[in-house]
Amino acid sequence: MPSKHTAHPDATLTLVPGQVDLATLRRIQAGGVKLALDASVREGMQRAEAAVRHIVENDQVVYGINTGFGKLASTRIGNDHLAELQRNLVLSHSVGTGEPLAAPVVRMVLATKAVSLARGHSGVRPALADALLALFNAGVMPRIPAKGSVGASGDLAPLAHLACVLIGEGEATLPDGRVVSGAEAMKHIGLEPFVLGPKEGLALLNGTQVSTALALAGLFGAEDVFASALMSGALSLEAIQGSIKPFDARIHAARGQPGQIAVAGAVRTLLEGSEIVPSHADCGRVQDPYSVRCIPQVMGACLDNLAHAARVLVIEANAASDNPLVFTDTGEVISGGNFHAEPVAFAADIVALAVSEVGAISERRLALLLDSGLSGLPPFLVRDGGLNSGFMIAQVTAAALASENKSLAHPASVDSLPTSANQEDHVSMATFAGRRLADMVNNTAVVVGIEAMAAAQGIELKRKLRSSPLVEAEFAAIRQQVAFLETDRYLAPDIEAMRQWALKADLPAALLDILPSHS
């Protein structure tokens, strides 16, 4: 069935700061929508801007408005240099390196930065938030280097590259793929480059939007491979004629873990109506290996952790995370540390653990399928073994990627390297924590895709009965991608096709409905 987050082309989503949900963020990432801020936010933004203007006009000294930054916070800046101060801040912090962030991530950065500014605590003109959404709506993507943030004081370097476009500097990519200057990008959306007012540069640079967008992209990818891994697990269970008894609802209710209960229920739904399941009910087989029998326990724990990470990240996507913050009810501007991305780093690390485990248990099921002593299938899933190696080396690839994920799953949040002359003496490393998820999701997609391809081979090798309607439909979809392996052939294109299968989002509702961004 189609994914619930499939957007109608050019549909307009109205963003209410503080209420942007996970499904909306998924649609933003996917593109094909336009964005607008709810009209109610403008008054709050204007009040905060007026509070900043009042500070300047009354010659009050407030950090970030008329002072230097970081270790230079005690340096007073004259009113005649405030525009230069903000411009210099953006330019001096544009020190990122590496390949540009992918468009889906940049879309979320543009949207969440606009939402953050629209919370009314940043003290900037509404026009800045409007310009960010104008870039989004025109498909103009600021080129943001992927590396260079430690995830504290905000994602300073990446967000500086975003801000550069607003002031006519830096680079952006147009919808046709052309890379143009920031000035040309602004012209493309019909705007003049901004001359930044007091605090506006700092408000654009401070914040966790880049690390949050990277972590969200990782979360959504993790959801996709999680759902595909449940399907590949069901295919494997049918291929080895495994027992359905470990998925009995009473077992999981007795433990009470919600993810475990949901996963067991999803697998039961997938296998409902199978002819294979009852055909071996009295075969005398007592217990399957853990990689099959404990799918609810392992995948359920992964699901619970994805749900926790989702709760953290959706809060962060709606947050006012720059510094200082303006509170218009009292007229105060208070300096704090909302730019510290520790919540995002922990959430990304949790997603990493889940992604790694999804791939790890999938690889073990793949190994089980290839082991004729355990699976009852021909060695390496090929009829003329010896002359043909079958899936032997495909499992080696899966093992290599599952092992690589173990290293990538090492927590980034426990690392810290002080910056800014020890003013910023503890940092989150959240940006790397989120960025490495893309590689992990891709690795796991390959592993899960190989398992599904192997399980389909196993089902066909001893095909006498049909599985359930849902599993048979997915079997047919796999066969549209890859043919039965009669003799050895060039497998790399098949593996790539199955990687893409594992990242799709049109699986049965029984799988999608238990995911955080769909529920």
With beta carbons less than 8 A apart as the criterion, state whether 18 and 318 touch: yes
> What is the pLDDT averaged over residues 119-146?
97
The pLDDT, as a whole number, for residue 156 is: 94
CA separation, residue 418 to residues 62, 152, 348 (Å): 25, 10, 21
Structure tokens at 483: 């043919």
Per residue in 417-428, pLDDT (tens digit) is 777 766 777 888
H, E, C per residue of 117-171: HCCCCCCCCHHHHHHHHHHHHHCCEECCEEECCCCCCCCHHHHHHHHHHHCCCCE
- Helix, strand, coil fractions of the chain, as percent rounded to 5: 55, 5, 35
Average predicted confidence (pLDDT) for the chain: 93
The predicted pLDDT at position 5 comes to 37
Q: What is the mean pLDDT of residues 14-25?
A: 97
List the catalytic residue out of 15, 55, 63, 94.
63
Confidence (pLDDT) at 428: 87
| Nearest alpha carbon to residue 130 among 33, 34, 238 | 34
Query: In this model, does residue 161 exceed pLDDT 70?
Result: yes
101 has pLDDT over 90: yes
Above pLDDT 70, what percent of the chain?
96
Q: Return the CA Rg of the chain.
A: 26
Residue that is written with structure tokens 């640079």 in the block: 205
DSSP code of residue 177: S
Encode 6-36: b = buried (16+ Cβ within 10 Å), e = exposed: ebeeeeeeebebeebebbbbbbbbbeebebe
For the cut 70, the answer to whether the pLDDT of residue 480 exceeds it is yes
185 pLDDT higher than 50 = yes
In this structure, what are the phi and psi dihedrals at residue 167, rounded to the nearest 5 degrees?
A: -100, 10
Residue 154 banded pLDDT, cuts 50, 70, 90? confident
- What would the pLDDT profile of 297-355 be if each residue is shown by its tens digit? 999 999 999 999 999 999 999 999 999 999 999 989 999 999 999 999 999 999 999 99
Q: How far, in Å, are 277, 384, 394, 482, 483 from residue 489 at the CA level? A: 32, 13, 12, 11, 11
458-479 pLDDT tens trace: 999 988 889 999 999 999 999 9
**193/413: higher pLDDT:** 193
pLDDT tens profile 190-234: 999 999 999 999 999 999 999 999 999 999 999 999 999 999 999
The pLDDT of residue 396: 97
pLDDT at 421: 67
- Predicted confidence at residue 499, as pLDDT, reads 98
Tokens 């989503």 -> residue: 13
Q: What is the pLDDT of residue 69?
A: 75
| Predicted pLDDT at 62 | 85
Count of C-beta atoms within a 10 Å radius of residue 506: 11
Q: Give the burial class of 231: count Cβ atoms within 10 A of its Cβ; 0-12 exposed, 13-18 middle, 19 or more buried.
A: buried
CA angle 3–475–515, rounded 5-degree value: 30
- pLDDT surpassing 90 at residue 279: no
How much is the average pLDDT of 32-54? Answer: 96
pLDDT of residue 283: 61
Residue-wise pLDDT tens digits, 253-273: 999 999 999 999 999 999 999
pLDDT at 125 over 90: yes
Q: What number of other Cβ atoms are within 10 A of residue 50's Cβ?
A: 14
Average pLDDT of the residues in 165-187 = 98
Pairwise CA distance, residues 381 & 383, whole Å: 7
**Those residues with Cβ within 8 angstroms of residue 154's Cβ, 6 or more apart along the chain or in another chain:** 205, 206, 207, 208, 321, 322, 323, 339, 341
Enter the tokens of residue 176. 């046709």
Predicted confidence band of residue 77 (pLDDT cuts 50, 70, 90):
confident
pLDDT band (50, 70, 90) for residue 3: very low
What is the predicted pLDDT for the residue at 286? 62
Q: Is 490 a catalytic residue?
A: no
Q: Which of 502, 483, 477, 313 is nearest to 401 (CA)?
A: 502
Spatial separation of the C-alpha atoms in residues 91 and 494, rounded to whole Å: 47
d(CA 179, CA 59): 42
At 42, the amino acid letter reads R
Q: How many CB atoms lie under 10 A from the CB of residue 476?
A: 10
Q: What pLDDT is recorded for position 454?
A: 98
| In contact, 26 and 20? CB cutoff 8 Å | no
Q: What's the pLDDT tens digit per position in 482-496?
A: 999 999 999 999 999
Give residue 382's pLDDT.
Answer: 94
This prediction's pTM? 0.95
Judged against a pLDDT cut of 60, whether residue 1 lies above it is answered with no
**pLDDT tens-digit series, residues 494-511:** 999 999 999 986 889 999
